[in-house]
Amino acid sequence: MLRLVDVDLPLEPLPAGSERYTEGPHSVFEEQVLFALFKRYAGEVAVEIGTALGYRSQLLLAAGFNSVYTVDVEPCKRQLPVGIAQIVGNSLTTTLPHMLYGTTDLVFIDGNHSRIHVAADTRLAHSLVRAGGIIIWHDVFVPFHQVKCWGNDPTGHIGKSEVAEFLHLDYPYTVNVYKGTTIGWLKVG
């Protein structure tokens, strides 16, 4: 059974000039939490599922990764800096470069938030990440008593709680959740 444990880590100031989302649920606090996690577990290679504008791909670079591979169904609308390679494709079907399997230091899951996708992306992440590496999920782990549903969006953004419940049945592990956020992470192996 999936167990969620609240964890508090020292936060990091954001890198100078970093761009970030300023609307919706995104906040400086959440950005700092991600940056602290990326820095704490920085290594050679990171894979991100869900590029959007590439803000967090850049944050991964700023945290110390040498190479970031980021997958999205849509090409990024911004020019991405050297060190970030975008793979345009559906994470359910795309084959990533073979050298990433079993060697990736960190996988950041932030693509389609429907439970089917998050569960599939979680399986993909387990194939990619090396022993001792890290999987980080964005927007997934909401304690069941704090359910905040996003409504029935036809694109599949059904509700954060359902994703947590699905993983709850599928993955018998303990996930750290940064206190007061929906950011979870797991050290693999």
Ligand X SMILES: C[S@@+](CC[C@H](N)C(=O)[O-])C[C@H]1O[C@@H](n2cnc3c(N)ncnc32)[C@H](O)[C@@H]1O
Give me the residues that bind ligand X (CB under 6 A), please.
48-53, 55-56, 71-74, 90-92, 110-112, 117
CB of 72 to ligand X, least distance (A): 4
Question: For residues 100, 116, 158 and 90, what is the CA-based torsion angle, rounded to 10 degrees?
Answer: 50
CB of 97 to ligand X, least distance (A): 16
The terminus-to-terminus CA distance of the chain in angstroms comes to 17
Residues, the chain:
189
Rounded CA-CA distance 4/54 in Å is: 28
Cβ closest to ligand X, residue 24 vs residue 189:
24
Residue 94 per-residue DSSP state = P
Rounded CA-CA distance 35/148 in Å is: 24
CB of 60 to ligand X, least distance (A): 9
CB of 160 to ligand X, least distance (A): 12
Cβ closest to ligand X, residue 5 vs residue 28:
28
Cβ closest to ligand X, residue 4 vs residue 73:
73
Cβ closest to ligand X, residue 27 vs residue 90:
90
Q: Does residue 40 sit in helix, strand or coil?
A: helix
Amino acid at 42: A
Rounded CA-CA distance 41/52 in Å is: 23
CB of 74 to ligand X, least distance (A): 5
Nearest to 36 by CA among 139, 185, 140: 185
Cβ closest to ligand X, residue 133 vs residue 137:
137
The answer to whether residues 159 and 150 touch, using CB atoms and an 8 Å cutoff, is yes
